Amino acid sequence: MIVDNSPSAMAGKNLTDVLLFSKDDREDMLRAAVEAYSADRLSQAETILVGLMTLDAEDVRPVKLLAACLLAQGRHRDAESIYERALAMEPDDPYTLVALGEIKLKTLELADAIPIFERLFAADPNGEHPAANRGRQIVREYHDRLKKS
């Protein structure tokens, strides 16, 4: 990529656009990460996503996808940390809440899972949101497994 840093080219652009990658470039990179994730090329997706997070610390999309990528690799602790970062960026995101709650259950952190699911369900008392309903299903399945033990 050739960078034109003349005063006229720099007018109206932020430093990231001028020195690193344009917003369009970052969108292309995100699409490439999604494609890699979908093709189960998780290491490649992870590399792209970490780079995107460095380029734009305010975009939550690569954060969420990185967490899903880590979870798909069975790296629960790493995924948990990244999901917590995503939740700090979007505190009421039901998809992040259900993913984080599920990790807490899988790692047997019940005391931490309960308030996450309570928060998820409180935001959707009528059972209309798919992520909240997925959370309800996860809790029911976990409860049923406990009853059978």
For the entire predicted model, the pTM comes to 0.80
Cα–Cα dist 21/38, whole Å: 24
Confidence of residue 22 (pLDDT cuts 50, 70, 90): confident
The Cα diameter of the chain in Å comes to 70
* Contact criterion met (CB below 8 Å) for 55 and 84: no
How far is it, in rounded angstroms, from Cα 113 to Cα 32? 33
User: Which domains does the chain carry?
Assistant: 14-91 (1.25.40.10), 92-149 (no CATH)
> Tokens at residue 15, please?
């430093």
Convert 54-89 to b/e letters by CB count within 10 Å (16 or more is b). eebeebbbbbbbbbbbbbeeebeebbbebbebbbee
User: Mind listing the pLDDT tens digit for each residue in 99-116?
Assistant: 999 999 999 999 999 999
Alpha carbon 145 to its chain's center: 28
Cβ contacts of 84-88, under 8 Å, gap ≥ 24? 86/60
Half-sphere exposure of 75 toward its Cβ, with a 13 Å CA cutoff? 14
Residue 86 has pLDDT above 70, yes or no: yes
The band of 18, judged by pLDDT with boundaries at 50, 70 and 90, is: low
Region of poorest pLDDT, from 11-15, 35-39, 94-98, 142-146: 11-15
